Structure 1
Amino acid sequence: MAWNEPGNNNDNNGRDNDPWGKNKNRGGREQGPPDLDEVFNKLSQKLGGKFGKKGNGSPIFGGGSAMGFGVIVVIAILIWVFSGFYTIGEAERGVVLRLGKYERMVDPGLNWRPRFVDEVTSVNVQAIRSLRASGLMLTKDENVVTVEMGVQYRVSDPYKYLYQVTNADDSLRQATDSALRAVIGDSLMDSILTSGRQEIRQETEKTLNQIIDKYDMGLTVIDVNFQSSRPPEQVKDAFDDAIAAREDEERFIREAEAYKNEILPKATGRAERLKKEAQGYTERTVNEAIGQVAQFEKLLPEYQAAPGVTRDRLYLDAMEKIYSHSSKVLIDSESSGNMLYLPIDKLISQSQAQSTKARSGDKSSSEYDGIELESSKNGDEANQTDSTNSTRKGRF
C-alpha cells in the first residue's frame, strides 16, 4: 500500500511516513507545503530581534521595524552628504544655482553642495575658443565676394555665458556674420581683395565688440583673423589676372624707388663735387690773374726806365721756358757742308710727350709765355738786324 493512501500513515515499525510530518498544533490534520508569507515573517522577526531587543529580549525603540527604518534613514543621509562633494578644475569656474536661482560663483578645488538643492555647472574660462563665419556677401559697388573670417574668444563671465543668452557660442557666430556683412557692405570689392584687408579686419572687430557689449554675453574677443576673400568662381580667372597686374605694378614701383634711392645720392654727390671744383677753379684763376696783373704792374716801371734791357730780359726768359719744354738741335752754320744725320723719330716722340705735358700745365703761364714771346720777337728782330748790319760792316 502506498504511503499516501488513507489510513496508512505509519510503517511497520510504527513511524510516521508522511514526508511533511504532522502539525500537532492543528489537531493531527494533514499539512501541505510551507507558506512563503510565513517564511518571510519568521525572517523579519529574527532581524527585528537582533536590532530591536537587548539580551533579555525587550525592544529598545518600541519595536524592530522602527529601528530598521532609522538605520535606513541614517544610511540615506550619509549617502546624500558624501554625494554632495565635487571638484572644480584649475581652469574652470562653477556657477551654483539654488532651487533654480543664481547663488554664487565657485573657485577651483574641492567643494560641497546640498544634493538635489544646489545645481553646479562648471565653465572653462581659460580655454581659447574659435569659430568661423563665411559666405557670399554683397559689396558697396554691387559685386559679390566670398569672405571667411575667424574669431578667437574666451569666457569672461561664466554666469552670463550660461544664462544671459540661450546659446552664447551660436549667438557670437551670428553676431560675427552680421558684423562682417555690415563691413563688407560698406567696402569696395577691389579693396576687399587687395589692400583693404587690414582695415576690414579692424572694422569687423570693432563692430563685433559693440554687439557683444550690447547683449552682455560674458565673452571677450581676443583676435579676429581675415582668412580669405575671393570672387565667385565664374569671374575668378579675370580677377586673378587683375590682382597679378596690381602686384606687378607695385613691384615695378618698388624697383623704381630702389633705383632712385641708389642713383640720386650718387648724382647729388657728383654735383656737389663739380660745384666745389668749379668754385676752386674760379678762385685759383682769379687769384692767378690778380697775381699776373700785379707782376705786370711791377714790370711796367722797369720797362719804361730801360725798354731795351727789359725787352731783352723778357725775350731770354721766354726762350728759356720754350726751349726747356722742347727738343733742341744745335747746328754750326759756319762749319763745312757735310751732311748731318738728324734722329727725326726720336725728336717727334719727345716733342709729343712734351706737348702733352704742356697741355696739362697751367694755361695762364702759357698765355704769359705767349705775351713774352711776342714782345721778345720784336727785340729779336732788332738784334738780328743789328747783327746783320755789323756783319756786313765787317765784310766790307
Structure 2
Amino acid sequence: MAWNEPGGGRDNDPWGGKNQGPPDLDEALKKLQDKLNGIFGGGNGNSNNSGNDGFRLNTGAVMMLVVLAAIVWGLFGFYQVDQQERAVVLRLGVYQETVQPGLRWNPPLIDEVSIINVTKVRTAQSRGQMLTEDENIVDIQLSVQYTVSNPGDFLLKVKSPEMSLEHALESALRHVVGSSKMDQVITEGREQIAVDTQQRLQSYLNAYQSGIQVAKVNIEDAQAPSQVQDAFDDVTRAKEDRERLKNEAEAYANGIIPEARGAAQRQMEEALAYKDQVIAKAEGEAKRFNQLLAEYRKAPKVTRERLYIDALEELYQSTSKVMVGTEGGNNMMYLPLDKLMEGRVSARMGSDQQVDIRELTDRVIEQLRRDSQNTRREGR
C-alpha cells in the first residue's frame, strides 16, 4: 500500500520520524562546527549562538593558517653564501645587489638569489686551422683559464658567457696568428702569441661586460697540417741541428779563446821577464867591465893574463879537444882534454870529488910553457 493511499496514516510517511530518512544538512554542519570549536578552544554554545561560533571558527583558522604560512615563507628565505662565492639578488626581476659571504635572508618569491663561485678556475678550449701572415695554414689547439670577476655582469650582461668567451677567443687567436709568420707560431714565438692572444681576448671580454677575468692562455699544440707534417718535421730537425752546431761552436770558442788569451799573456810576461833579464845582465856586465877596467889600470899584465885564462876556461868547457901551436916550429900538439878529464874523474871517483877545470887549465898552460922553454934551449 502506498503511503498516500487512504487509510495509510502518518505511519506510512517516508519522511516521518519513525522512518529512516536522509540526514539534515544544517544539523551536520552544526556538529562539524561544534567539533572544530572544541579543537580550537571554542565554547559549547546553544543553537542560538551557532552563527557567532561559526564566524569565530573561520577567523581563528584563517589567522592560524596565515601565521603558519608566514613562518614557512620566512624560513625559506634564509641561505648561506660561502667564502668563495657571491650571491646576485634580483628583486622582481631587477638587479638589486651582490651579496658578500655569510648567512643571508631575502624574501622568497620576491627576490631571486643566484650564487656564483668567483674563485673557481674555469677552463675553455679552442682548436682550428688558421692562416698565417706568410699564407701558410697551421693547426692550433689552446686552452684558457679564467675566473668570474663580476658576478652581476657575468649573470646579467651576457646571455651565455661561456659561448661568448669561446667566440672571443677564436676571434682574438685568428687576429694574432694572422699577424704572425708560421715559424713564429710553430717554434719560438708560441709564448708571445699566447700573451698577445690573452691581452686581446681580455679587451674583448671587457667590451662585452662579461665579468670574466682571463688568468692564462696556453698554446697546447701548434703544427702544420698533417698533409705536410713530414716536411715541416725535416725543417724543424734541420733548425735544431743548426742550433746544436752553433752552440757547440760557441762552446769551443768560449774554451779556446781564453786559452789563447792566456798563452798570449804568458808570452808577454815571458818577454817582459826576458827584457828585464837582458837589461839586468847588460847592466851587470857593464858594472863588471868598469870594475875590471879599474883593476886593469892598476895591474894591466896580471889582469890581461887573468882575462885570458878565463876566456880559455870558458872555451874549454864547450870542447873536448885542443890544438896548440908551438913557437918556432910547425908541429901542432894535440891535447885530449876529454881523456885527461876522464882520467882525473876516475882517479878522484873514490874521494867523491869533481874535476876542477881551472886547475886543469893551469896545468896545461904550465906544461905549454915548459915545452916552449925546452924548445928555445934546443934551438940555441
TM-score, normalised on structure 2?
A: 0.75
2:376 aligned partner, one-letter code: R
- 1:300 CA drift (Å): 4.5
- 1:252 CA drift (Å): 1.7
Q: Are positions 1:259 and 2:252 aligned together?
A: yes
Write out per-residue CA displacement over residues 29-53 of structure 1, whole angstroms, 9 at most, x where no aligned residue.
8647x67978974664344443473
2:168 aligned partner, one-letter code: A
Distance in 1 separating the partners of 2:171 and 2:124: 14
Report if the CA contact (8 A) 2:146-2:214 is conserved: yes
Report if the CA contact (8 A) 2:153-2:210 is conserved: yes
Report if the CA contact (8 A) 1:143-1:189 is conserved: yes
Moved more, 262-271 or 239-248: 262-271
Give the alignment of 1:1-396 within 5 angstroms: 26-27=15-16, 31=20, 41=29, 44-50=32-38, 51=40, 53-56=42-45, 58=49, 59=52, 62-300=55-293, 303=296, 308-321=301-314, 388=372, 391-393=375-377, 396=380
Write out per-residue CA displacement over residues 228-261 of structure 1, whole angstroms, 9 at most, x where no aligned residue.
1010000001111111111121122222222222
The answer for unaligned runs of 5 or more in structure 1 is 8-21, 330-341, 351-372, 374-379
1:106/1:302 CA distance change after superposition, 3 Å = closer
SS of alignment partner, residue 188 of structure 2: coil
Moved more, 254-263 or 384-393: 384-393
> What is the number of residues matched between the two proteins?
334
1:198/1:170 CA distance change after superposition, 3 Å = same
Distance in 2 separating the partners of 1:93 and 1:269: 70
Distance in 1 separating the partners of 2:94 and 2:133: 48
- 1:151 CA drift (Å): 1.1
SS of alignment partner, residue 376 of structure 2: helix
Distance in 2 separating the partners of 1:225 and 1:37: 82
Q: CA RMSD in A?
A: 3.8
- Give percent identity, aligned residues only: 39
Report if the CA contact (8 A) 2:89-2:96 is conserved: yes
1:253 aligned partner, one-letter code: K
Moved more, 309-318 or 184-193: 309-318
1:105/1:186 CA distance change after superposition, 3 Å = same
Distance in 2 separating the partners of 1:44 and 1:140: 90
1:39/1:263 CA distance change after superposition, 3 Å = farther
1:301/1:110 CA distance change after superposition, 3 Å = closer
Moved more, 242-251 or 74-83: 74-83
Aligned residue number for residue 12 of structure 1: none
1:232/1:91 CA distance change after superposition, 3 Å = same
Write out per-residue CA displacement over residues 250-279 of structure 1, whole angstroms, 9 at most, x where no aligned residue.
122222222222222222122111110111
1:199/1:37 CA distance change after superposition, 3 Å = farther
1:269 aligned partner, one-letter code: G
Report if the CA contact (8 A) 1:52-1:60 is conserved: no
1:237/1:37 CA distance change after superposition, 3 Å = farther
TM-score, normalised on structure 1?
A: 0.73
Distance in 1 separating the partners of 2:54 and 2:25: 25
SS of alignment partner, residue 55 of structure 2: coil
Aligned residue number for residue 358 of structure 2: none
- 1:86 CA drift (Å): 1.9
- 1:210 CA drift (Å): 1.4
Report if the CA contact (8 A) 2:320-2:338 is conserved: no
Write out per-residue CA displacement over residues 149-207 of structure 1, whole angstroms, 9 at most, x where no aligned residue.
21111111110010011111221121111111100000000111111111111111111
Distance in 2 separating the partners of 1:262 and 1:150: 44
SS of alignment partner, residue 221 of structure 1: strand
- 1:23 CA drift (Å): 11
Aligned residue number for residue 351 of structure 2: none
1:45 aligned partner, one-letter code: Q
Moved more, 38-47 or 217-226: 38-47
Distance in 1 separating the partners of 2:14 and 2:29: 19
1:214/1:86 CA distance change after superposition, 3 Å = same
SS of alignment partner, residue 120 of structure 1: strand
1:239 aligned partner, one-letter code: F
Distance in 2 separating the partners of 1:150 and 1:318: 96
Shift >6 Å, 4+ stretches: 22-25, 35-40, 324-329
1:391 aligned partner, one-letter code: T
